[in-house]
Amino acid sequence: MPWLRPFRSALAAGEGLFDRLLCVAGAVLFSQVPEFMQQYLQRLGGHLDEARRQLEQLRDVAAQSGVTLEALIANTSANPDPAVARLGEVIRGTAGRVDALAAANQALQGASVFTKPFVLLAHFDPEIARATWSIFRPAVPTTLEGVAYALVGMVVLLAVYHGGVRAPVRRAWRARAARRAAAPPVAA
């Protein structure tokens, strides 16, 4: 139908613009992933430093009492006073937290550019993530990592649009046109 040509060219121009917008949106969104991970890692390091400081204070208390940290945990946990017994669990929890935070920190520090998000998910701490997100400030990516994530974001959003939206709509329109062409003409 010749009268549809102007609409088709306008739609084609609009689709090109939409593709560009998707590229920009994907680049901006995905380029923030390394920035969030970097801010998360800084916050994780702060938690680790504080937990180590607390554990060191507990080790000093144990040393001043002439026992090891493990003996201090056992003695306080076995105490008949419930408050003192709970303190043993707090000491044990602090030691466990230091180990977990240190493992997460080491794993994230040693992860490659593209494995880092998966390592983050494996060692994800919701409390640290919430605190990071609450003060997160987007940044312009100036690293190779930021550029790589921006390119991945462009490809992902374009693939989702073209494979998940555009292609199914085109198939539906073609099927509809084929049904119309195959249908017998309606008499007036």
Residues 27, 149 contacting (CB under 8 angstroms): no
Q: How many CA atoms lie within 13 A of 183 on its CB side?
A: 9
In a domain, 159, yes or no: yes
Cα 50 to chain centroid, rounded: 24
pLDDT level of residue 21 (50, 70, 90 thresholds): confident
Within-domain flag for 145: yes
Split at pLDDT 50, 70, 90, the class of 92 is very high
Question: Domain for residue 35, yes or no?
Answer: yes
Residue 46 lies in a domain: yes
Supply the pTM of this predicted model: 0.70
In a domain, 30, yes or no: yes
Task: For residue range 28-83, list pLDDT tens digits in order.
Answer: 888 898 999 999 999 999 999 999 999 999 999 999 999 999 999 999 999 999 99
**What 3-state DSSP class applies to 62?**
helix
CA distance 167 to 128: 40
In the prediction, which pLDDT does 17 show? 79
Type of residue numbered 57: Q
Domain membership of residue 187 (yes or no) is no
Number of domains composing the chain? 1
Residue 42: domain span: 19-182
Structural domain contains residue 87: yes
Asked if the structure places residue 14 within a domain, the reply is no
What would the two tokens of residue 34 be?
Answer: 């390394």
